[in-house]
Every structure is written in structure tokens, then in C-alpha cells.
Structure 1
Amino acid sequence: MPGSTAINDFSTLLRSGESGGLISAWIGIPDPLFVNHLSQEAFDAVVLDMQHGVWDMVAAANGIGQGRLAGKPVVARIPVGDFSTASRLLDAGASGIIAPMINSVADAHAMVKATKYPPLGERSWGPTLAMNHTGLAATTYLATANMETVAIAMIETRAALEAADDILGVEGIDGIFIGPSDLSIALSNGARLAPDTEEMDVVLKQLLERCRAHGKFACIFGSNGERAGQLLKMGFDLVIAGADTQQLRAGAANAIATARKGQAG
């Protein structure tokens, strides 16, 4: 049930297509305690944004631990092409990796190489924190890690959109994450930032169809809660309901407005 997703069920729910639609927090503020606070809410997962957020590896490893202590799977979005960090985050106990700018089959293979153990990839052995978190013996972790963690390729450029079927066909790519802001910029040749339009919805539905055809799951960034609801209704398996900074400022603005209203009354 959304809101009560156990860490160990996360990958299974996404792959099954029977999650009912998961909602994840999105955190760029590089403080593990912020993960602790948002993990107390009814999010199904937490994403650490290391691409546009300012997380470093130490803070991210601690953030993963805070999420897991609260019973929430933590996924990390790595900087563009930083696949060595992807392996380290999985070693630290991340439940999945989102890789931006996966624009080709070659990019997809590079991601799988870093995030999956043989025979799918070439992930190097050293999951000390992951085994501490899971309580699994080394042999069990090795046998299950490829299925218990997810490799999610971002589709956010014209090249990625054109290669979507080929990217989805790469074994070891478990699903995609659509970046509608970058995709809207790309499709308009830099003329518009318009992620929440009917024109974009047509593209999103086409990508959803391709995911279903390949038996892969689909995730997406929603600009706010209302948009996230629309995307869940559309059929996405995991959505973001706005970023941490947006939620923090909206909460502060609401409190200030409420206080001023009370003062005036």
C-alpha cells in the first residue's frame, strides 16, 4: 500500500507494476537530518539529488542511513556520467540509482556495468554498509543485489527519446525516470520550459506505452502535489511531488500568510 512501502519490497513493487503508484520525496539539501524529517511523512521513498543538489558522498551515505532507519528506501540521482559514485552509493545501501542524460544504448550499458554484478555488469565488490543495513551474508547479498536494487535511466533529451526503445531493451536497466523540464527544453529547441502541458502529456503517454511493452517501470518528476496526482492517474509507477526546497518555502510562506491573516483579524 502506498505510504507503507518496506525497503525490501521497493524493487519488487516497482517491477511488478502493482505498486498502486509510489510517491517519493526529493531532497537536494545536503543534510542527513533533512532525510530523517521527510522520512517521517507518508512518502514511499526518498531520492537524494546529487546532480543539482549539493550532496557529497559522506553526507549521502549518512542520508541513506537516516532513510533506512525510518524504514524508507533511498534512491540517489548521480551527477551526469558519474558511474563510480553510483557503485559507492549502492555499497552504502542505496536501493537504486537514477542516472541523468542516458542518451544512448552505450550510456545504458555503462550504467549497467557500474550498478549490476556479473553476469549483467561489472560492479566491484565492497558493499560493507549495504550488508550492515540488510543483515545479509555476503553470498546472499551477491545473489540478490541485482534484483533488490534498481538501475533507472533518465529520459530527458531528443536523443534519449529517439533511443527509448533501445535503452529500455538493455538488460539491467530496470526502468526509466523522465525529466519533463529538460525534455520540454529539448523538444522546443531551448525556447520553453514547459513540463506540465498537454503537448508534453502526449510524449509522456507514449513513453509509458514503451515501458509497458518492455516490461519496465516508469518514474517521473512532478512539479508539485497536484501535478504528481495527475501523473499517478496517468499510470506512472513512481512520482515526485515537488522538491524539498519548494516544499520548505511553501510551508514557510503559508505559515507567514496565516500569521498575518490572524494579525489583521
Structure 2
Amino acid sequence: MTETSAIDSFADRIRTGGHGGLVSAWVGIPEPMVVHHLTQEDFDAVVLDMQHGMWDMASASNAVAQCRSAGKPAIARIPVGDFASASRLLDAGCTGIIAPMVNSVADAQALVRFTKYPPLGERSWGPTLALNHMKLSGDDYLRTANRLTLTIAMVETRAALDAVDGILGVEGIDGIFVGPSDLSIALSKGEKLAPDTDDIDKELSRIVARCRAHKKFVCAFGSDGKRAGGLLKLGCDLVVASADTTQLRAGAASAIAAARSFAVSG
């Protein structure tokens, strides 16, 4: 299997299960070289955060190329409601799109219109970079793109929790991504940020059950590696083991502490 085919089998892999849990990097620093370094580690995928990260379309497209050259699928989280950018990112070769604040069936249907070709959606034709990356003819890409790419709706509000079955029932929505920080704010009515609590785990367990009933997958963000492992135990198919900024600062803090400790003890 070539690196390209490994990337483009990722969508089938996460849909069908049996993968033992997938772990993704999460990058908000708008620098493709950061992506290059992280793809050398044993991540199963890389998420480019365009909602709260600083990526623009040009830098994100270059980052997608870095991912694909390393044999890793790139997934992009778009800004809220920016479904037009979802089409452009798929054209650039992204394997998946995560859309935040999908709170209703109507939101899910709108997302599908931009990310899937007919008959599921109304995605406009123009996947020039994707064709180059995947080495497919136009006809082959058109026939397979809806299967090879992932449309993922974020559940992170009370409205989304109430509508989760309807969202999962929209044809073309491949899976759910749980945003535990915003969900904790919503559940506490704005009183606290508490993404790693029993209350979140209770809701996540219910979402996992609904995803299994609809034969769709579920993803979630973990604040660190241990939390990500706990999310896998809860039944998530893909987890994020903290963001690039958290990992960068934790690594720096660890190195500084080690240096100072050795200097004192030596």
C-alpha cells in the first residue's frame, strides 16, 4: 500500500471501526513546518484548527501538502458557519472537515451541501490540488470523493445535544466531534470551563451510544494524553491528545525544569 492509498483509506478505516482508537495531532500555529515536525510522530492524522488557530487558506493548503507527503491525512476545523471554506479545503486535499457549532438538522444539511457531491450535496467542482495529491482522474475522484472524505459535525451546545439524533440522521454526516470545553460552558450556563468532568463523560457516553445506533463514528478533544486515553475508553474512535501550543509549552517547561534540577543536584 502506498502512502497516498494509506491516507485515502483513512475515511473507510474510521467508519468501519476495528482500528483500536485513533490519535490525532491538533495544530493552530499557522506554520506548515510545525505540521511537518508533528507528522514525524506516530499520529494517525493531523487537525488544522482554522476556527481558533491562525491558519489562512494558503498556509493551510501548504500544511495539507506537508501532511500528505508524510503519509498522514489532514483534517481541517473550519470557522463557524464558513461552509464555503470547507469545499476549498477538500479541493486542497483535506481528508475531512470538522464544522463547529452544528446545532440543528438544518445546520447539518447545509454542511453536507458544501462537502459532498450530488446526490448527497451540492459541492462545486474544482479539486485541482486533490487530484494532484491523489493521482486520480476527474471521473474517478467524482465517483469516490464522497466516500474518501469525511464530514464531521461538532456537538458542543445544549441545542446540539437535543438534536444529536437528527444530526446523525442526515445522510452525508459521517461522524460527530465533541467539543468538551464549549459543552461544559453550555451545560453550566456559562459558569465554568470544566471539560474533563463526569458531567461531560455522561453526555459523551450518550453521544457514543447514539453514534453506534446510527453506525457513525465519534471524535473528541482531550486536554492531554491521559485524558485522550480516557476518551478512547469511553468509546471514541478518534481523539486529540492536546493542542500544539500545550505540547510545545509542556515540553519547554519539562526541559527547563530538568536543566535546573540537574544543575542544582550536580
TM bin, normalised by shorter chain, reads over 0.9
**Is 2:45 the partner of 1:36?**
no
Give 1:19 shift.
Answer: 1.7
Rounded to whole Å, the distance in 2 between the matches of 1:109 and 1:181 is 25
Task: Map 1:48-67 to 2 at 5 A.
Answer: 48-67=48-67
Give 1:198 shift.
Answer: 1.2
Give 1:235 shift.
Answer: 1.1
Q: Which amino acid aligns with 1:129?
A: L
Give 1:20 shift.
Answer: 1.0
Q: Which amino acid aligns with 1:258?
A: A
* TM-score of the two chains, using structure 1 as the length reference: 0.98
Structure 1: segments with no counterpart, 5+ residues? none
Residue 137 of structure 1 corresponds to which residue in structure 2? 137
Rounded to whole Å, the distance in 2 between the matches of 1:199 and 1:38 is 32
Structure 2 counterpart SS, 1:130: helix
- For residues 96-139 of structure 1, give each alpha carbon's deviation from its aligned partner in whole angstroms, at most 9, with x where no partner exists: 00000000000000000000000000000000000000000110
- For residues 40-81 of structure 1, give each alpha carbon's deviation from its aligned partner in whole angstroms, at most 9, with x where no partner exists: 000000000000000000000000000000000000000000
Rounded to whole Å, the distance in 2 between the matches of 1:167 and 1:85 is 21
Structure 1 counterpart SS, 2:194: coil
Residue 233 of structure 2 corresponds to which residue in structure 1? 233
Structure 2: segments with no counterpart, 5+ residues? none
Task: Map 1:7-156 to 2 at 5 A.
Answer: 7-156=7-156
Rounded to whole Å, the distance in 2 between the matches of 1:149 and 1:18 is 19
- For residues 21-41 of structure 1, give each alpha carbon's deviation from its aligned partner in whole angstroms, at most 9, with x where no partner exists: 000000000001111000000
Rounded to whole Å, the distance in 1 between the matches of 2:200 and 2:143 is 40
Percent of matched pairs sharing the same residue? 67
Rounded to whole Å, the distance in 2 between the matches of 1:87 and 1:248 is 31
Give 1:6 shift.
Answer: 2.5
Residue 221 of structure 1 corresponds to which residue in structure 2? 221
Rounded to whole Å, the distance in 1 between the matches of 2:84 and 2:203 is 32
Residue 186 of structure 1 corresponds to which residue in structure 2? 186
Give 1:252 shift.
Answer: 0.4
Residue 169 of structure 2 corresponds to which residue in structure 1? 169
Structure 2 counterpart SS, 1:118: coil
Rounded to whole Å, the distance in 1 between the matches of 2:228 and 2:141 is 34
Rounded to whole Å, the distance in 2 between the matches of 1:202 and 1:66 is 37
Rounded to whole Å, the distance in 2 between the matches of 1:246 and 1:9 is 30
Rounded to whole Å, the distance in 1 between the matches of 2:202 and 2:230 is 13
Give 1:200 shift.
Answer: 1.4
Q: Which amino acid aligns with 2:204?
A: L
Rounded to whole Å, the distance in 2 between the matches of 1:191 and 1:177 is 23
Rounded to whole Å, the distance in 2 between the matches of 1:142 and 1:199 is 43
Structure 1 counterpart SS, 2:176: strand
Structure 2 counterpart SS, 1:43: coil
- For residues 132-178 of structure 1, give each alpha carbon's deviation from its aligned partner in whole angstroms, at most 9, with x where no partner exists: 00000110000000000000000000000000000000000000000
Which segments of structure 1 move beyond 6 Å, counting only runs of 4 or more? Answer: none
Rounded to whole Å, the distance in 2 between the matches of 1:109 and 1:50 is 21
Structure 1 counterpart SS, 2:251: helix
Q: Which amino acid aligns with 1:39?
A: T
- For residues 207-256 of structure 1, give each alpha carbon's deviation from its aligned partner in whole angstroms, at most 9, with x where no partner exists: 00000000000000001000001011111000000000000000000000
Residue 210 of structure 2 corresponds to which residue in structure 1? 210
Q: CA RMSD in A?
A: 0.8
Rounded to whole Å, the distance in 1 between the matches of 2:26 and 2:208 is 22
